[in-house]
Amino acid sequence: MITTTNVTLDHYSNSIRDTDRLTDLQSITFGLYGEVGSVVTTAKKLNRDGMAYNYRISITEELGDVFWYFTRLVDRLKYNINDLVKSPFCKKQHSILLVTDILSSPLAHIPITEDQEFTIALTNLGQSAADLLNSLQANEDTKEKLEKFFLNYLFTLKAANISFADVINHNIEKSTSRFLQPDISKLNTFDGSFSEEERLPEQFEIKITERPNGKSYLQWQGVFIGDPLTDNIKDSDGYRFHDVFHMAHAAILHWSPTFRALIKHKRKSNPKTDEEQDSGRAIVIEEGLSAWIFSVAKNSNFFEHQDKLSFDLLKTVKQFVSGYEVEECPLALWERAILDGYKVFRQLKEKRCGIIVGNRINRTLEFRPLEK
């Protein structure tokens, strides 16, 4: 019996259409060719690193990227992806093709009876990608080349022992999380069921000052919180003000075990939540994440004049917080939290003091200079 994910090829195509930020056809064709190369690279890494390399996760992601570019190319060329499935799979054309998790039948009712070695399947996939690219550059009719590429793609799925359903579902989640702005009214607040003293405040103002000794001090509601900080490095870089990033996490992501600890709003009424989400390890994770992003930001002028972050950076962020409640937050929201946090950081670094205004309702963080 064939099991399915109830996702059709049409549904996938419609789901990822709005994630396309590319402006021209050439970018899509080059992207497709490059992603096929990335699939080949996963095979090289498997041979080189063996069990030390997380092959299944990597190739599932790379095959998803290949299919994203292929689907976008098909759409841009005004074809219907269902019409590209031809013999040798079946004699009867199916108007609606359902994705499955069966390795020998990636599409419902269309079994693959031929077996190919993985290296042969990869070689054929690469060759069909090159043929497709050449055909497009020569302005030839590409339908036959598209059909051939899709055929070799499905052979590669089977040879790699990877479920098409896993590929599709992972890519939809990845693409929409990265490129579509979330509906903030539907996002988890993480602490809505707790009492006010255990929730992150809906609005907060944190006063930050710097004294002649070079240390920065935080005040909330007129009370000093946390420890005075210096940059703790030979060459001053402003890291003494890094608590701004925790405030950005709290205001925009509705998550920050570090900020909860600073203002003493840990969710102690639920020992499990307190231990797993608000205590030592979670704080270390957030501090480590902030320090790593800071090391990247230093080499990019602290993200000044940037309105987007690299996908590799955002993927690493997701790996950092895996297993914690904040992993529910889409990558687009993480991007906003990081960029807005660094905007405020740059202002604070320049002025050396100010008030940080957080608003969880609107998911915003702003800088306000101190009145003289």
For the chain, 372 residues long, give each residue's pLDDT as a single digit of tens. Answer: 344 456 899 999 999 999 999 989 999 999 999 999 999 888 777 677 655 557 788 889 999 999 999 999 999 999 999 888 865 555 555 556 889 888 888 888 778 888 889 889 999 999 999 999 999 988 888 999 999 999 999 999 999 889 999 999 999 999 999 999 888 888 999 999 999 999 999 999 999 999 888 899 999 999 999 999 887 877 789 999 999 999 999 999 999 999 999 999 999 999 999 999 999 999 999 999 999 999 999 999 999 999 999 999 999 999 999 999 999 999 999 999 999 999 999 999 999 999 999 999 999 999 999 976
Distance CA 21, CA 301 (A): 25
How high is the pLDDT of residue 95?
58
How high is the pLDDT of residue 4?
43
How high is the pLDDT of residue 49?
66
Structure tokens that stand for 346 in this block: 């740059």
> Where are the domains positioned within the chain?
4-180, 185-368
How high is the pLDDT of residue 2?
41
Half-sphere exposure of 307 (CA within 13 A, CB side): 1
In three-state form (DSSP H/G/I as H, E/B as E, the rest C), the secondary structure along the chain is CCCEEEEEHHHHHHHHHCCCCCCCHHHHHHHHHHHHHHHHHHHHHHHHHHHHCCHHHHHHHHHHHHHHHHHHHHHHCCCCHHHHCCCCCCCCCCCCCEEEEECCEEECCECCCCCCCHHHHHHHHHHHHHHHHHHHHCCCCCHHHHHHHHHHHHHHHHHHCCCHHHHHHHHHHHHHHHHCCCCHHHCCCCCCCCCHHHCCCCEEEEEEEECCCCCEEEEECCEEEEEEECCCCCCCCCHHHCHHHHHHHHHHHCCCHHHHHHHCCCCCCCHHHHHHHHCHHHHHHHHHHHHHHHHHHHCCHHHCCCCCCCHHHHHHHHHHCCCCHHHHCCHHHHHHHHHHHHHHHHHHHHHCCEEEEEECCCCEEEEECCCC
For the entire predicted model, the pTM comes to 0.86
How high is the pLDDT of residue 295?
96
Structure tokens that stand for 341 in this block: 């946090």
How high is the pLDDT of residue 43?
79
How high is the pLDDT of residue 1?
36
How high is the pLDDT of residue 3?
43
How high is the pLDDT of residue 314?
95
